[in-house]
């Protein structure tokens, strides 16, 4: 056996920030060197950020990535890090290639490179290109067909990229055939609820399949609707967990591994191998250092405890909100605070993400607002220390009504649209980003006013069902005084209990309650999950135990609201299928579930 100390740099790049991402590579490589690592790995597409989407089709962006990679290699050597092998994701293209119909322009590659001695020594590319859910890589990348196996201190290390782990055949099967002692996998795997357990089981299964230890480094941070949770892991050849990084924070996971020494007979060169998926992969062997390091004391391994279900959802919402605001150049946010549960949770997420001093609330009472809608909101403002102002809208509504003869729903929606005008105006005046307060249950059924409460730049709870909104509010109140990296240290419960307990209402007409027109959310949300996230048709929904009359009504509500959802701002994805990148349905369609 040979010893190898590896470092997994779980960091937060920004799409398109080649110089900033290069700085991260150099900075964290220096940290790895300081920790005595023999090898440091960075996530998938680290140099460009992920996903780059159609930026991959721009030759100028591809060439900028290639030049940045060369500069990073030279800079590492110039800063005394040239002897440390650095493995990083980047955007690349083949040196030559014939463009065929059906292939993306420029033949871009979702690539990985080994940097050493000031040079780019090895290049490879993702073999399996995902084309489901939020992924459309088959549209913008071409497939790689090489598996690099690099000898580092007497250990053969193979490299694969993200989806190569999730699909049968390809690099994982070839890594076993190549006799690798370690399979290094670079990832940008987005978060969704309970995915951490699925990933760990997958890593364990693939390690046993390849017959070698597996090191899985994942990115962390928010990118538009996607949130990356880190949770990098290292498992042994038997699938046992050896080391694990914490979720939702940048972290350098350093681990000492005892790995099989490489076969001296397997020298540098290229060998074709059956990928077991109908393709051939060429094994590229390169030796950086053939001799094992002298025996050294092994440091204790880090195995971070994963967060519980509600904690990881909340952490994802905070991180997704923080990165969307910061990476898009905003310093502060503004939102309408109604005294209801949705806006209360959004305000709390924003306070945790940005600090209360950067959160501004507008209280917009109308003629139908209850006394508690103002006093409860004021109590939340006091507890959290956020900025606030009261802008009564009754006079504004009356001015409109003097010129327009509106009734029923049109009159109700007028109030919502006037509120939106107020916070959008304050946004323009002071440079705040507007946060919307709609939840997934409302978006699904169309219970949001277009150009009213749906107006804004980002929706922190867009992918959160109403029942989970209450769960998260209760959970957050239990964490007052708890030291977690994604929580602001409030001295008391940040959300007044009266807000959690009150019956939800839009307060757009006298005595209005959500229950006037919607079933109990405990009944509605499971039905919405089955229809929206699991794609069950009418008969399957009824067979699953949902009331047939309610099924017909809810299907109609969801289908008719597609045009509204298409105009809603982005928000963090936390479920298997969100409204946005995941679920893409036509607005104009005559298909109805019967």
Q: Is 132 annotated as a binding residue?
A: yes
Indicate whether 252 and 329 sit together in one domain: no
Check whether residue 152 and residue 90 sit in a common domain: yes
- CA distance linking residue 85 with residue 100, whole number of Å: 36
Is position 544 within any domain?
Answer: no
Is the domain of 314 the same as that of 226?
A: no
Nearby residues of 70 by Cβ (< 8 Å), 6 or more positions away: 120
Structural domain range at position 504: 309-513
**Is there a domain that residue 363 lies in?**
yes
Question: For residue 177, what pLDDT is reported?
Answer: 87
Token code pair at residue 74: 């030279």
For residues 65 and 382, give the distance between their C-alpha atoms in angstroms, rounded to a whole number.
Answer: 48
Residue 566 belongs to a domain: no
Per DSSP, 196 falls in state: H
* CATH at residue 332: 3.40.50.620
Residue ending a domain, among 513, 528, 551, is 513
- List pLDDT tens digits, range 443-502: 999 998 999 989 999 999 999 999 999 999 999 999 998 889 999 999 999 999 999 998
Summarised one tens digit per residue, pLDDT across range 520-537 is 999 999 999 999 999 999
The CATH number of whichever domain residue 46 belongs to comes to 3.60.110.10
Pair 337, 220 in one domain = no
Average pLDDT over residues 328-344: 95
pLDDT exceeds cutoff 70 at 117: yes
Is 12 among the annotated ligand-binding positions?
no
Please indicate, yes or no, if residue 565 is contained in any of the structural domains: no
Claim to verify: residue 278 and residue 360 sit in the same structural domain: no
**Residue 343 marked ligand-binding:** yes
Nearest to 473 by CA among 434, 442, 427, 504: 504
Q: Of the residues 513, 532, 547, which one is the last residue of a structural domain?
A: 513
Tokens describing residue 180: 């690798």
Domain count within the chain: 2
75 and 147 within one domain: yes
Q: Binding site annotation covers 442?
A: yes
Question: 195 a known binding residue?
Answer: yes
DSSP E strand boundaries for 48-108: 86-92
Q: Kindly give, in sequence order, each residue whose CB lies less than 8 Å from that of residue 485, ignoring residues fewer than 6 positions away.
A: 248, 249
238 falls within a domain? yes
Tens of pLDDT, residue by residue over 122-155, are 999 999 999 888 888 888 999 999 999 999 999 9
Pair (282, 313) in one structural domain: no
338 is in an annotated binding site: yes
pLDDT value for 99 = 62
The confidence score (pLDDT) of residue 242 equals: 97
- With a cut of 80, say whether residue 101 has pLDDT above it: no
pLDDT at 371 over 80: no
Query: Cα 292 to chain center, whole Å?
Result: 38
On the 0-12 / 13-18 / 19+ scale of CB atoms within 10 A, 296 is: exposed
Return the top range by mean pLDDT from 77-86, 100-109, 480-489.
77-86
Do 20 and 114 lie in a common domain? Answer: yes
Kindly state whether residues 355 and 208 are assigned to the same domain: no
pLDDT at position 390, please? 94
In a domain? residue 483:
yes
3-state class (DSSP) for residue 190: strand
pLDDT digits (tens, 9 = 90+) for 533-551: 999 999 999 999 999 999 9
Task: Determine which one of 70, 79, 126, 137 is catalytic.
Answer: 126
Q: Which is more confidently placed, 97 or 387? A: 387
462 labeled part of a ligand binding site: no
Average pLDDT of the chain is 92
| Of 137, 162, 163, 203, catalytic | 162
Q: 125 Cβ partners below 8 Å, 6+ apart?
A: 92, 109, 110, 111, 112, 141, 142, 143, 144, 146, 161
Whether 165 is covered by a domain: the verdict is yes
Q: What is the pTM of this model?
A: 0.94
Q: Tell me, yes or no, whether 282 and 361 share the same domain.
A: no
* 466-478 helix and 521-528 helix, angle to the nearest 10 degrees: 110
Same domain, residue pair 423 and 454: yes
Whether 136 is in a domain gets the answer: yes
Q: 10 Å Cβ neighbour count for 149?
A: 26
Per-residue pLDDT band at 223 (split at 50, 70, 90): very high
User: Could you tell me if 35 and 252 are in contact, meaning their C-beta atoms sit under 8 angstroms apart?
Assistant: yes
Q: Kindly indicate the confidence band of residue 93, based on its pLDDT and cuts at 50, 70 and 90.
A: very high
Instruction: Tell whether residue 342 is among the known ligand binding residues.
Output: yes
* Token output for 154: 């007497």
Catalytic residue, candidates 44, 192, 225, 493: 44
φ and ψ at residue 20, rounded to 5 degrees: -65, -40
* Tens digit of each residue's pLDDT (9 = 90 or more) over 241-268: 999 999 999 999 999 999 998 888 887 8
pLDDT recorded at residue 594: 75
Question: Is there a catalytic annotation at residue 44?
Answer: yes
User: Percent of the chain beyond pLDDT 70?
Assistant: 97
Predicted confidence at residue 508, as pLDDT, reads: 62
Residue 369 clears pLDDT 80, i.e. is over it: no
- Domain shared by 150 and 41, yes or no: yes
pLDDT tens for 230-243 read 999 999 999 999 99
The answer to whether 173 is a known ligand-binding residue is: no
């Amino acid at each position: 056996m040979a010893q190898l100390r590896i470092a997994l740099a779980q960091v937060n790049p920004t799409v398109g920030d080649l110089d900033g991402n290069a700085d991260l590579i150099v900075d964290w490589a220096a940290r790895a060197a300081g920790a005595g690592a023999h090898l440091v790995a960075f996530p998938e597409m680290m140099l460009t950020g992920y996903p780059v989407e159609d930026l991959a089709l721009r030759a100028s962006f591809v060439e900028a990535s290639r030049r940045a990679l060369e500069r990073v290699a030279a800079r590492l050597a110039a800063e005394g890090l040239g002897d440390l092998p650095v493995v990083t994701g980047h955007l690349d293209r083949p040196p030559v290639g014939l463009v065929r119909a059906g292939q993306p322009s420029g033949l871009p590659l979702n690539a990985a490179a080994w940097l050493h001695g000031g040079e780019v020594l090895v290049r490879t590319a993702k073999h399996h290109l995902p084309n489901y859910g939020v992924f459309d890589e088959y549209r913008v990348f071409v497939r790689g067909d090489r598996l690099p196996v690099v000898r580092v201190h007497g250990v053969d290390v193979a490299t694969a990229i993200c989806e190569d782990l999730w699909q049968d055949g390809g690099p994982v099967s070839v890594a076993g055939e190549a006799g690798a002692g370690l399979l290094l996998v670079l990832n940008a795997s987005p978060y969704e609820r309970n995915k951490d357990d699925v990933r760990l089981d997958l890593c364990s299964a693939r390690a046993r399949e390849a017959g070698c230890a597996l090191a899985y480094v994942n990115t962390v941070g928010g990118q538009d609707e996607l949130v990356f949770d880190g949770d990098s892991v290292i498992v042994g050849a038997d699938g046992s967990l050896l080391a694990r990084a914490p979720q939702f924070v940048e972290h350098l996971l350093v681990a000492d591994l005892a790995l099989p020494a490489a076969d001296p007979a397997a020298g540098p060169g290229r060998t074709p191998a059956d990928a077991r998926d109908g393709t051939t992969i060429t094994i590229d062997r390169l030796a950086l250092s053939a001799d094992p390091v002298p025996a050294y004391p092994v440091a204790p391994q880090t195995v971070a405890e994963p967060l519980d279900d509600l904690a990881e959802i909340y952490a994802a919402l905070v991180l997704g909100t923080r990165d969307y605001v910061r990476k898009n150049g905003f310093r502060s946010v503004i939102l309408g605070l109604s005294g209801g549960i949705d806006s209360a949770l959004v305000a709390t997420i924003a306070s945790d993400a940005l600090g209360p001093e950067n959160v501004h609330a507008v209280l917009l009472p109308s003629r139908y607002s209850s006394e508690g809608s103002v006093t409860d909101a004021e109590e939340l403002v006091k507890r959290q220390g956020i900025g606030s102002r009261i802008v009564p809208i009754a006079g504004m509504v009356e001015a409109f009504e003097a010129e327009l003869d509106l009734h029923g729903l049109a009159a109700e929606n007028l109030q919502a649209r006037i509120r939106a005008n107020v916070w959008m105006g304050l946004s323009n005046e002071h440079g705040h980003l507007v946060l919307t307060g709609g939840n997934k249950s409302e978006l699904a059924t169309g219970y949001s006013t277009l150009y009213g409460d749906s107006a804004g730049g980002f929706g922190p709870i867009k992918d959160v069902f109403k029942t989970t909104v209450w769960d998260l509010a209760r959970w957050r109140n239990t964490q007052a005084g708890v030291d977690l990296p994604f929580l602001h240290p409030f001295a008391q419960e940040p959300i007044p209990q009266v807000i959690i307990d009150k019956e939800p209402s839009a307060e757009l007409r006298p005595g209005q309650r959500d229950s006037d027109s919607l079933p109990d959310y405990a009944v509605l949300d499971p039905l919405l999950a089955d229809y929206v996230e699991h794609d069950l048709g009418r008969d399957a929904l009824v067979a699953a135990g949902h009331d047939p009359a309610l099924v017909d009504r809810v299907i109609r509500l969801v289908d008719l609201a597609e045009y509204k959802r298409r105009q809603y701002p982005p928000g963090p994805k936390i479920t298997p299928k969100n409204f946005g990148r995941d679920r893409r349905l036509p607005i104009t369609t005559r298909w109805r579930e019967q």
